[in-house]
Amino acid sequence: MTATLTVCETCNFAPETKRGPDGQTGGEMLCGLVEQVADGVSGVATRRHACLMGCDHHCNVGLSAPGKITYVMGSFAPEAASAAALVAFAELYDASETGQVPYKQWPQGVKGHFVSRVPPLPADET
Ligand code: FES
């Protein structure tokens, strides 16, 4: 089952600044970086989405897969190191049956960025 990183493409570049020096939003910058890192990585997909409703702690990213816990993470700088940490965590998430990853395996770059987690819906028993 593929792990999908849903990256907000409309997040600010800085608290009071929508766009960075190249004219892209912080979200667009992080989307591009995550897409680059995830390109060719087995089991990890990306998608862009407008506002994930976590604007005050931009940049925001969701991680989900059918039947697995969903994570929402935020307060990422739109930088290559953030993208690398997100994709590395998504690979570990993909390898986990439930999506839960032992803390000791977490890439340093995702620590302190978790906003919430949502358990999976129960499997359809019909
Ligand atoms: S603009 Fe990214 S969460 Fe609202």
Distance CA 104, CA 102 (A): 5
What pLDDT is attached to residue 38? 98
Q: Distance, CA 17 to ligand 1 centroid (Å)?
A: 13
> Whole domain around residue 32: which residue ranges?
3-118
- Nearest residue to 68 via CA among 16, 12, 4: 4
State the total domains in the chain: 1
Looking at the domain assignment, is residue 60 inside a domain? yes
What's the CATH code of the domain at 80?
A: 3.40.30
**Ligand 1 pocket, residue 58 CB under 6 Å:** yes
* Residue 105 belongs to a domain: yes
- Whether residue 124 is contained in a domain is answered as no
Considering the entire predicted model, what is its pTM? 0.96
Residue 30 lies in a domain: yes
Do the domain assignments include residue 125? Answer: no
Domain assignment present for 37: yes
Flag whether 99 is in a domain.
yes
The minimum-distance atom of ligand 1 relative to the CA of 51 is 4
In order along its 126 residues, the chain shows pLDDT tens digits of: 799 999 999 999 999 999 999 999 999 999 999 999 999 999 999 999 999 999 999 999 999 999 999 999 999 999 999 999 999 999 999 999 999 999 999 999 999 999 999 999 988 655
Domain for residue 9, yes or no? yes
Q: Could you tell me the distance, in angstroms and rounded to a whole number, from the CA of residue 53 to the centre of ligand 1?
A: 5
CB-based contacts of 92: which residues, under 8 Å, 6+ apart?
101, 105, 106
In this structure, are residues 72 and 86 in contact, taking their beta carbons and an 8 Å threshold? no
